[in-house]
Amino acid sequence: MSKFYITTSIAYVNAAPHIGFALEAVQADVVARWHKQEEVFFLTGTDEHGAKIARAAAASRGEAPPKASLATGGSLAPKGREADNKLIKEFVDQQAEKFKALKSALNLSWDNFIRTSDQKVHWPVAQEVWKRIAEAGDLYKKTYQGLYCVGHEAFVTQKDLVAETPTLEGRGSDRSAGDALVCKDHKKAPELIEEENWFFKLSKYTKDIELRIKNDELRIIPEGRKNEVLGLLKDDPEDGSASSPQDVSFSRPSKDLTWGVPVPGDDSQTMYVWADALTNYISGYGGVKNWEKHPADIHFIGKDILRFHAIIWPAMLLSAKLPLPKTIFVHGHILSDGQKMSKSLGNVVDPFELVKKYGSASSSQAGTDAVRYFLLREIPSAEDGDFSYEKFTQRYNADLANGLGNFAARVLTLASNYSEYFTIHANPQNVHEVVNDKIKETQLLANKKITDFKLNEALEIIWSLIHFGDQYINEKKPWERKDEKIIEANGVAIHSSVAILNNVAILLQPFLPDTADKITKSIVWEEGRLEIQKTENLFPRL
């Protein structure tokens, strides 16, 4: 297993794929394709367990009272769940298909798609890792106290609570002191419930992890995120504001949560998200043995799940005596017209719609590459970015239609119109020195940017080569002066232009694979002679 191993986080299937996951998948895809000269294993998948999924499944069948106050009495959780689980299974199957469809929509090159509901592939690994952690003595049972809201069918926290309205003051005598809070959605006081959970001794490993992150044995990119994690790990008891992470709950009673992986040796408990979902990186990779030989080179994740990947996951691996991933790359979030995307605002951007919208009749891949390009160029790789149709159109016209598309058409037409030059001067080596230098410089810079995960800047650099090409052609004007004396010079100029285009395509291969192929295929050398096959417009102007 000497493969370069790249993962995305696994997507939670309670909702349809949105553009945020598309961003992560596309970023990971570029890096995977860029490493293709080595052997690469690229994993993605879906996280399909948990109470939220169960609720989403019910909602999708139009059954559940969304936030209506209909408290389901006491019957919400327990028995008779076999039938329910079957329905949930149908739901997640359906959802997982939508995520898998991203592969063709965005031309992704993943090698495996892991689903946490896969009882044959995923469950045994999740349980094996659990056992290893248990054997290390890092799991213990503890009573968990929480505020349970019947309306939510879940534990709620302080931020879900609001002060009770004055009109209900009559009940004042009922409640104990300081208990004047009610659930903000359901206007009912939560119950204090105790339940027994398995806990993981996270605290045992925080020092070790802090060290490994500090010395980049576990790299976290970008720097700001690394510092954020180090801040979390640092214990400064003085001000009491930040204290190193506490042990985390690793299971839930199965009476409340049957939709998940059973805890080995304890039927009364179901694995909680960490123990279950994070192990996908091992189960999707052929199991513990493979991971031991070659752990992930890069995890691509969003900033919202940094804590789990940078602290809990390494702690689990240390406990299970398994190697840590080498790098965690953290991207930001995509805003929609400056606002957070949310269902209630109705501004969620659907990647499938985008691809369809920007694909032309003649070529649907133009839409795919246009979406890939926007995500990779407009969104700074490690930061938040903004999506709007206006920006998309602007990027498309300026960079793809006027920039790349026009340049390709320009060079190919030029080369095929003046092909007589080639009979005289058909040597591919015959490229101007300045052009060769610029090409080499661009390759160097772009590769450096990709290594640093600055994909947007890599594209910027590639586009500077296109710009250079336009300048070069304007300067050489190979279309005029066809007299004998300068035929040779024009031949070199056209060869040089073709070389620029060809190298742009090579550099773009990981970013816009389909467009790159089209360009490369239109430039053919036959018996030392250049044959140009003009293509249709790569990106028609909008």
Binding site for RNA (CB under 7 A): 50, 146, 155, 157-159, 224, 227-228, 231-232, 239, 241-243, 245-246, 248-249, 272-273, 303-304, 306-307, 333, 340, 378, 380, 383-386, 391, 394, 397-398, 401-406, 408-410, 413-414, 417, 467, 470-471, 473-474, 477, 479, 537-541
Shortest reach from residue 131's CB to RNA, in Å: 21
Among residues 363, 415, 419, which one has the least CA distance to residue 534?
415
**Cβ nearer to RNA, comparing 36 with 340:** 340
Shortest reach from residue 300's CB to RNA, in Å: 17
Shortest reach from residue 480's CB to RNA, in Å: 7
CB atoms within 10 A of CB 477: 10
Shortest reach from residue 507's CB to RNA, in Å: 17
**Cβ nearer to RNA, comparing 78 with 224:** 224
**Cβ nearer to RNA, comparing 246 with 427:** 246
- Cα dihedral value 81, 86, 92, 97, nearest 10: 180
Alpha-carbon gap, residue 255 to 201, rounded angstroms: 24
Q: How far is CA 173 from the centre of its chain?
A: 52
Alpha-carbon gap, residue 116 to 516, rounded angstroms: 35
Alpha-carbon gap, residue 471 to 463, rounded angstroms: 12
Residue 269 tokens read as 């408990």
**Cβ nearer to RNA, comparing 276 with 297:** 276
**Cβ nearer to RNA, comparing 108 with 314:** 314
The count of C-alpha atoms lying within 13 angstroms of the C-alpha of 355, restricted to the half-sphere facing its C-beta, is 19
Beta carbons within 8 Å of 27's beta carbon, 6+ residues apart: 300, 329, 331, 375, 376, 381, 453, 455
Pairing of strands 154-156, 139-149: antiparallel
Shortest reach from residue 411's CB to RNA, in Å: 7
**Cβ nearer to RNA, comparing 57 with 306:** 306
- 195-229 as b/e, with b when 16 or more CB fall inside 10 Å? bebbbbbbeebbeebbebbeeeebebbbeebbebb
Shortest reach from residue 111's CB to RNA, in Å: 27
Greatest distance between any 2 Cα atoms in the chain: 105
**Cβ nearer to RNA, comparing 84 with 470:** 470
**Cβ nearer to RNA, comparing 162 with 398:** 398
Shortest reach from residue 519's CB to RNA, in Å: 10
Shortest reach from residue 94's CB to RNA, in Å: 21
